[in-house]
Amino acid sequence: LQFLYLIDLHAPPTIMSRFADVTPAPADAVFGIVADFKADPSPNKVNLVVGAYRDENGKPWLLPSVSEAEHRIAHAKLDKEYLPIDGLPELREAAPKVVLGQDSPAIKEGRVMAIQSLSGTGALCLVGRLYEKLGMKSTVYISDPTWANHRGIFQSCGFDVKTYRYWNQEKRNLNFEGMVADFEAMPEGSIAILHQCAHNPTGVDMTEDEWKKIAAIIKARKLVTVFDNAYQGYCSGDLDADAWAARYFESEGIEFAVTISYSKNLGLYGERAGCLMYVCNDVQSAKSLLSHVKTQARVLYSNPPKHGARIVASILNDPELYAMWKAEMKLMSARIAEMRVLLREELEKAGTPGSWNHITDQKGMFSYTGVSKAAVAHIVENAKVYMLPSGRISMAGVTKHNVAYIAKAFCDALKATEGQ
């Protein structure tokens, strides 16, 4: 038999892709699990993964102050021209006052610089790029544990990243003794990343006395300080209380950076609104830093987005909207605190192995439950309650409707995996 092969002489030759040998990168630790949650058909599934506020029905909440600000912006029919490289002036002027207070000496003396950023992540990237360009080859120290993106951001800027002790797994609280020892051992000029409030992921914050001890070490060791400020106002419901650490550092004459996100406390997750600010010891240093940060912003994204910045600036600069926002933060904070109490009560009522006082001792969006990876896997597989393998849960995903179900899932898993 003879076979006739038809060949398309006009077909382009097959050329191997330049990227054929590139293997897929691993999925993001958080958003990969979110994707699994969305794909799960279970009607009982619960999302305790992403740090985004949810109301008592588990739904996203558009803050009334944000809605009113957007209404005013829409009716003003403002232009869509480029912002300056350093962002919306009304935002840059107002943001430091929220962190440092209206009576801040550094603000009054012109020793504070501020630049609009792509939320907190963008602000941290600007810090890393700035320090790298200024030739600061110091090691960056992050808490153990910390927000997953901290390490990646500074490693991408060429820094060696190490950890300092923070979480005490056995007691499920702050390992302050270990933290102090690690800070005292940091080489002079090292860069320390600190969570201003509502530590992510543990929910464990330092007391004022503990902050004072760390500040004293930072001054003595001449460490470079960066405050990650993602939850001011959301943590306790009080903007001033949540900013205590930064204000104390200012009073002690310590220079520091603050990376600000408006995702959590204003619910502007998708707007990527934020700010990077520096408190310097003299006016010229603040001006010089701003010029270098603007250079980095220019090559990274040129100009920041306008809409989210206008929303934030409208709220920060209007007394009526500002008062609304402060009330809304109290409401969000109070709901999270209530869910902590209910979850602890349900865990104890169910006879869940272990002690659970740390649930109510912790603050802010997240709780570091302390359960093992084996228990987490059991919870996800059998109850479809999704969380990070570390046992971190977003308290915003807990409601009066699902808290008993979540507690039972924990109880069943801990009993089934005891000793693992």
Catalytic residues: 147, 228, 264
Burial class (CB in 10 A: 0-12, 13-18, 19+), 93: middle
Q: What is the DSSP letter of 384?
A: -
Place of tokens 């003299």: 282
Q: What does each C-alpha distance from 202 to 143, 168, 184, 262, 369 come to in angstroms?
A: 10, 10, 23, 20, 8
Please, are residues 214 and 179 in contact by the beta-carbon 8 Å criterion?
Answer: yes
In whole angstroms, give the CA distance from residue 370 to residue 356: 10
For residue 164, the SS3 value is strand
Output the CA angle 247-359-377, nearest 5 degrees: 120
Two structure tokens written together for 355: 């002690």
For residue 144, the SS3 value is strand
Q: At what angle do helices 119-133 and 283-300 cross, to 10 degrees?
A: 110
